[in-house]
Chains A and B, each alone.
Chain A
Amino acid sequence: MAFWRTPLDIDKLKIPKGELHIIKERCKGCGFCVEYCPKGVLQLSDEFNSKGYHPPEVVKPEECVNCDLCEVLCPDFAIYCVRIEEEEEEVDN
């Protein structure tokens, strides 16, 4: 992510990461998630689901910041985002 100024606490901030789950059969191909993903993570795929819609596919998984916007915009409850926790390993002394 590009900052217009460097935040003073940049060393303490961590950009979250998300993992997208797409329930393809529920998708009606509206494209809301693709259009409004702020990081351009998704695009409509070429594949068809059984209703004949093109569900989205994840094209830039590493870019997902778990903002959930796709999930809250989806009218068909067909996509959701799970935060990937990055845990710091305890170091044994």
Chain B
Amino acid sequence: MKADPQNVLTGAHYLDGNYAIAEGAIAAGCKFFAGYPITPSTEIAERVSRRFPLIGGIFVQMEDELASMAAILGASWGGKKSMSCTSGPGFSLMMENFGLGIMLETPCVLVNVQRGGPSTGLPTLPGQADMMQARWGSHGDYEVIALAPDSPQEGFELTIHAFNLSEKYRMPVLLMTDECVGHMTEKVIIPPPEEIELIERRYTDKKPGEAWPYQENELISPMLPVGEGYKFHITGLTHDYRGYPVINAEAQAENVDRLMAKVKENVDDLTWLEEKDVEDAEVVVVSYGISSRVVQPAIAKAREEGIKVGQIKMVTVWPFPEKRIRELAGKVKALIMVEMNYGQVYLEMDRCAAGRCETYICGHAGGTVHDPGSVYSTIKDAVK
């Protein structure tokens, strides 16, 4: 279905990434936002709180991030598209109920505007060091979907995409941006509502008494609406198709396998890569988010010098584009990961390369984007 015109500020705007994300959420039909102020993400909450009253949305500034995440899950089960935003320290707190969201299979969107860590770290400066936390931050085995916008325009578009994926796969989706994108102001084109395609929630067509929260033999079950007599039960405990707790190894395997299969069996649908000059490349620079823009002058300089450098921008970071990286590893001399950390997503790339090509990490502790010179040096090292 198409976006509701009352939610969409069609036109050309000059927005920072955080405002663009807020507009993306509103355009996607988000009607419940629970959040807690934290630099550098707060502008998302501010924009939403300003925009919501006249479009029927509810913004609640919660007592903490634990509550924020719990509240958006409750609201999602209540039928609202819901979201929250945060940064590192709040992201740590949200991991608890992010896990509940995975377990209950609850659509919602969580934005992490990354800053430098660990702990309070660098509240006002960028980082990309929460990427592994995004992947494994809550306890237990599960798969996640994480998107990384490189600009305010992508912030707008990927937020809509995140809502769509969360409804399609019935799970929380992460938008992993950073302080730099969040606070960078650029032109953002918001298309007319009829050009914004939204995936709506799938509710069961079965009658009360016949439907369960997780239908047997269905990978992604339609949801059950509250208040309609289904009288369903859902739990964060390991459960069967009825949503009833079952505490044994067989039920655990069945439950966890299915949660993971939702993503694993749909990696091709989820993978979104933007490739440039990869076909003839001997070195490919892989990056995501703001880093994928910072690498461009270095790549251009290297190509001017005749070095065959290609670029891959990962729009979807998780699930990791394993298939494509394995393919490339058999063709290129080296893969270079450029990220604002000491090599988190790099580890996945290195694993997938499996020794078939050289892998390099061009990383640092965060606080600033890369100096293109460091990327250029890494490219030079790689072709030596």
Q: Do A and B touch (CB < 8 Å)?
A: no
Interface residues of B (CB under 8 A from A): none
Interface residues of A (CB under 8 A from B): none
